[in-house]
Amino acid sequence: MEYAQQLFGQFFGAEWGPALFSLTKNLVLIVAIVLPLLLGVAYLTLAERKIIAFMQIRVGPNRVTFFGIPWLAGWGQPIADAVKALMKEIIIPNGANKFLFILAPILTITPALAAWAVVPFSPEMVLADINAGLLYILAMTSMGVYGIIIAGWASNSKYAFLGAMRSAAQVVSYELAMGFALVCVLMMSHSLNLGDIVKGQEGGSFINWYLIPLFPMFLVYFISGVAETNRAPFDVAEGESEIVAGFHVEYSGMAFTVFFLAEYANMILVATLASLIFLGGWLPPFNIAPFTLIPGFIWLLLKIAFLLFFFLWFRATFPRYRYDQIMRLGWKVFIPITLVWIVLLGAVMQLPPSFLNAFPLNLWFH
Amino acid sequence: MGFQDIIFYFFATVLVASALGVITARNPVHAALLLVLAFFTCAGLWLLLEAEFLAITLVLVYVGAVMVLFLFVVMMLDINLEHLRKGFWRWFPFGALLALVMAAEMAIVVMGKQFSLDQMPTPAARAADYSNTKELGRLIYTEYVYAFELAAVILLVAIVAAIALTLRHRTGTKFLDPAQQVAVKRADRVRMVSMPSEKKE
């Protein structure tokens, strides 16, 4: 690494060398994050189809394989789907705003990938260790709704427009509840830095995780996350029984697939954030021998996979919410719960130190 | 010209171009989207000034929430552009005069002594672990606490007023209380009847 830095310094001079070096280094690191992420997205679609199939007593995809190996049957399906989507024509409807129509999928996937810049995968593995990491992720996920709105408007179709309207209202409503739930977390951790939030949950076992004192906030955050990613049972933006396919009804080929990539990348992001801020991130559930032998990165992956399973489980079991009930849940149930919890948490934090340093409060407030 | 200068000029060019686009675009949806771009590049400029909290909040609040609602409304409007541009030249002198007055006022303030360059020395670069989120929170809740509380009260009044202006109770709506719906037991709706099986004739 230092050798490469020197090489850049010699090649581009003292002024430009360091800047270009950090640019190149960051680009390589970005590719190192995005490639496994996209692979994860591809195989999440396979996992979804397989798991929902098992829940509905079907088999799921079991045909496409690599080099004819029988026990890999089904594992080639995401690759085959991607190749099929790439080969298809992107049809631009009459009267559509061509520029915005093409821009919309790009605007959806960009924030979904950009949010990963501040996610720490282990104490050392983080691309940008910034102070306001949690805030940055909130800002990026709130950007994702533009792709959906623009897609709905630029398609020049009533179904797409209705889907976009529903999605915009839904995302804006649930963002508030999500933000308030995160306020509780940062009140406890005294930090917006995701690495520091995980470090605040250290202390020996899973009892110290923020999941225990903030359990209602975990539920609010996770359900809001499902709503924010427009997943079932909150998928009224697509609502195939009412508005065909919602905002992406006019899209075809790779443009359509990009919306799906963004949706699954956002799902993984919500699961990752929930495991970082509520489930202790890379910390093992018990700080004793067999658990500490497994590296922290594997623990994080396990927690993410566990939460992602819930996304698929919801989709297989719950019927779709009615639109007005979605709004009611967001505004009249979640936001009051989070506000009450913030006040309660603030009151507990103002208790005299003799209380805070005694069992059980000393597990979380330190 | 260093690396930072190039980034600055890039952001500044995009900002000015998109701001011009906001007032010249014919389609109101395009104008709103250009305003989003302007906010975003503005946030980039604030990041260059090491004001990361303000920059991210700008994106979170204005781009993520306010402009979404703006777009929401603008997209549903059916605006007749011909009608809007009807009196343009009649009102142009008045608008130009207003613009000139505003520009002159801004020039007086910005070019005055308080804002000249020697009054504003380049601030020293902060250490990497300096958190201006914490610093801002400390300032807001200590030195500027009254101003902050006043702003909060004004916002609260605005919320109450907005709700009071739009709240209407219509009679005859078929609204069902979800709490009642959820509380329904099987016995309320279904009557189990035990019927003895009959013999086939």
Label residue B45 exposed, middle or buried (CB < 10 Å: 0-12, 13-18, 19+): middle
Residue count (chain A) = 366
pLDDT of residue B18: 93
CB atoms within 10 A of CB A154: 25
Could you tell me if B60 and A142 are in contact, meaning their C-beta atoms sit under 8 angstroms apart? yes
Q: What angle do CA A271, A276, A277 make, to 5 degrees?
A: 105
Size of interface A-B (CB pairs under 8 A): 71
Question: How far does the CA of residue A143 sit from the closest CA of chain B (Å)?
Answer: 5
Helices A2-55 and A296-317: angle between axes, nearest 10 degrees:
30
pLDDT of residue B128: 67
Nearest partner of A231 among A85, A45, A1, judged by Cα: A45
pLDDT of residue B5: 85
Tokens read off for B145: 């606490």
Average pLDDT over residues B95-121: 82
| Mean pLDDT for back-to-back runs of 10 residues, chain A (366 residues) | 73 74 86 90 90 89 81 84 87 84 89 89 80 86 86 85 84 87 88 85 81 88 89 78 77 86 91 90 82 83 92 89 84 91 89 77 73
Q: Which of B68, B73, B131 to mutate to test the interface with A (most CBs of A within 10 A)?
A: B68
pTM beyond 0.80, yes or no = yes
Could you tell me if B52 and B126 are in contact, meaning their C-beta atoms sit under 8 angstroms apart? no
pLDDT digits (tens, 9 = 90+) for A134-182: 888 888 888 888 888 888 888 888 888 888 888 888 888 888 888 899 8
B116 to chain A, any CB pair closer than 8 A? The answer is no
Tokens read off for B198: 């009959």
- The string of DSSP letters for A228-272 reads HTT-TTS-TTT-HHHHTTGGGTT--HHHHHHHHHHHHHHHHHHHH
Tokens read off for A341: 């919890």
Given a cut of 80, is residue B13 above it in pLDDT?
yes
User: What share of chain A in percent tops pLDDT 90?
Assistant: 14
B59 to chain A, any CB pair closer than 8 A? The answer is yes
Q: Which of A100-109, A176-185, B40-49, B112-121 shows the lowest mean pLDDT across its residues?
A: B112-121
- Does B64 contact A175 at a Cβ distance shorter than 8 Å? yes
B51 to chain A, any CB pair closer than 8 A? The answer is no
* A232-243 burial code (b ≥16 CB/10 A, e <16): bbbbbbbbeeeb
Average pLDDT over residues B116-120: 70
What is the distance between the alpha carbons of residues A231 and A328, in angstroms, rounded to a whole number? 18
Q: How far is CA A45 from CA A32, A62, A218, in A?
A: 21, 14, 25
* A112-141 burial code (b ≥16 CB/10 A, e <16): bbbbbbbbbbbeebbbeebbbbbbbbbbbb
CB atoms within 10 A of CB A180: 21
- Does B59 contact A143 at a Cβ distance shorter than 8 Å? yes
pLDDT of residue B79: 66
pLDDT of residue B1: 65
Q: Which of B10, B36, B37, B56 to mutate to test the interface with A (most CBs of A within 10 A)?
A: B56
Q: Which residue has the tokens 């963004």?
A: A262
Helices (H), chain A: 2-55, 77-87, 98-114, 133-143, 145-154, 158-189, 194-199, 215-228, 240-243, 253-277, 289-292, 296-317, 323-328, 335-349, 353-356
ipTM greater than 0.90: no
B63 to chain A, any CB pair closer than 8 A? The answer is yes
pLDDT digits (tens, 9 = 90+) for B162-185: 999 988 888 888 877 778 888 888
What is the distance between the alpha carbons of residues A275 and A200, in angstroms, rounded to a whole number? 14
